[in-house]
Amino acid sequence: MGKVAFIFPGQGAQHPGMGKDFYENFQESRLVFEEANEYLNMDIRKLCFEGPHEDLIRTENTQPAILTTSIAMMKALEKEGIDCDYTAGLSLGEYTALVKSSGVKFSDAVRLVKIRGKLMQETVPEGLGGMAAILGLDKDKILEAIEEVKGKYLVEIANFNSPEQIVITGEREGVQLVCDKVLDMGAKKAVLLPVSAPFHSSLLKEAEVKLKKELETTTLFDLEKELISNVDAKPVVKKEEVKEKLVKQVSRSVLWQESIEFLINRGVDTFIEVGPGKSLSGFVKRISKLINRKVDTLYVNSIETLHSTVNSLKEGGKI
């Protein structure tokens, strides 16, 4: 019997209206939004459902908003009797995976990611950092382009998302320069991302130190499910290890492709993306194709996709 992994999105998946249908249809989901409102002392529900967009894309708001929405959607999926063997999340999504794995209480996680977002936002003055997604060019060529700007600008790889997509991060002017270079080298696209900080770059070392202090005062638990870590694509279950990896994750590259390959090699043949958007499902499809393995990719980002996911699992004999 194949195994199931729940995977959770990171920043960039947000949009006004997310989670509203779950709030209106599931008591379990409603309680998640209410708990987040209470612990954050802000109307996260209104922010998720109505925006405005410019408030929703502020990092310190985006992170708790996506975490809350993803957990609310997951609660509805669990109510339908669906569970998983493994969890993983892209960047911020790792905190959602941690909640699912019982490594941290939701109330602590939502508080932590708001602080994490604020630290990331404040460490590099707005406008100085940037990120870009590069499509259709291999890692070595991208590293070559980064090498050419070294010394003048700090640019690093933020995410190894899939065989088709790598995200770079660093000083905005350097990121732009690398984009120009990779297009000359044959990249299909180089798209600047609408983010307010250079995530997963060594420019955020200071945020890492401050986050470590926050984690010292947060109660973590050993995990009930194996979580595949962003920083080394290996499973974690011990709370001490979780803490260490969450700190490193701030300034290290996200090894998403490697994490998915690890899960497939562990026998996972069904990936369910839970949360706004569906970009992770696209990454999983491309990664599985690259290593020539057949997997099912499902996602839950609306009541409709919840029902179609549950039906697919029933038809496939997974529940």
Q: Which residues are identified as catalytic?
A: 91, 200
Neighbour-count burial of 80, counting CB atoms closer than 10 A to its CB (0-12 exposed, 13-18 middle, 19+ buried): middle
What is the sign, positive or negative, of the torsion defined by CA atoms of 47, 204, 209, 206?
A: negative
What is the sign, positive or negative, of the torsion defined by CA atoms of 124, 127, 129, 133?
A: positive
Helix residue spans in the chain (DSSP H): 20-25, 27-40, 44-50, 53-56, 59-79, 93-100, 106-123, 139-149, 172-184, 205-216, 239-249, 256-265, 279-290, 303-315
* Residue 40 near residue 114 (C-beta atoms within 8 A): yes
Determine the residue type at 114: K
- C-alpha radius of gyration, the chain, whole number: 19
Which of 48, 52, 53 has the alpha carbon at shortest distance from 194? 53
155 half-sphere exposure, CB direction, 13 A CA radius: 28
Residue 254 carries which DSSP code? Answer: B
Which of 55, 300, 86, 109 has the alpha carbon at shortest distance from 220? 109
